[in-house]
Amino acid sequence: MKLGTLFIATALLGSLSMADDQALKKEGVGYIKMLGGTLKSQLQENMKKDPSGLAAAAFCAGSAESITKEINAKLPKHASVRRAALKTRNASNKADAIDEKVMNEYIKAIEEKSFDPKSPIKLVKDENSTRVYKPLLTQGACLKCHGSTVSPEITTLVKEQYPQDQAIDFKEGSLRGVIVAEIKNK
C-alpha cells in the first residue's frame, strides 16, 4: 500500500471513530437527560412546596431509585443509566473503579480551576461498552441535605432511610457525583 493511500485510510478510520464517538455521546446524553431531568424537576417541585428541604429529602428516599428503574425500563436493551458517587447516601449508587477514576478527574479539574462547565461530558470506552459521564455539581439547594449544617428533621429522615450515609459536608460547586449512561457495544 502506498503511503498516500495508507494516510487516507487512516484518516477515514479516525473520522469514522470520531463520528461514532459523537453518536455515542449524543445517545448517552439523551439517557442522562431523561434521568437527570426527571429527578431535577421532581426535586425542584418538592423544594418549592417545602423550602426546608424535608419534602425533597423524602422524595429522594422514597422515589429516586424507582424513577431510575422506570427510566431504564424505557431504554433500549443495550443501554442503561444510573447515578454514582464517591460519598454515597444510597448504597446502590456506589461507584465502581471506572466511575471513581472519572470522578477523581472531575474533582482534580475543579480544584485546579480547569473544569469547563461548557463541556463537562466524558466518554470512557472499554472492550464491552462506552460510558458517558455528566458531573453533578453541588448547588446551594443541595446543601440542605448534603451540606455541613443539616436540619435535625432532615438528619433524622436520612439516618432512618440511610444508616450508612456518607453524602454530607459538601460545599457549593463541589462534585456531588455523576450520572452515567452505559451503552453496550453492538
For residue 181, give the nearest of 67, 78, 39 by alpha carbon.
78
Structural domains counted in the chain: 1
Q: Tell me what pLDDT residue 2 has.
A: 52
The beta strand positions in 109-174, using DSSP E, are 122-125, 129-137
Helix (H/G/I), strand (E/B), else coil: 160: helix
- Work out the mean pLDDT of the chain and round it to a whole number: 89
**Rounded to whole angstroms, how far apart are CA atoms 144 and 40?**
15
Instruction: List the domain range (segments joined by +) for residue 121.
Output: 3-184
pLDDT tens digits along 57-98: 888 888 999 999 999 999 999 999 999 999 999 999 999 999
**Rounded to whole angstroms, how far apart are CA atoms 59 and 63?**
5
pLDDT tens digits along 87-102: 999 999 999 999 999 9
Helices (H) and strands (E) in the chain, counts: 6, 4
Helix (H) or strand (E) holding 183: strand 175-184
pLDDT tens digits along 135-180: 999 998 888 889 999 999 999 989 998 999 899 999 999 999 999 9
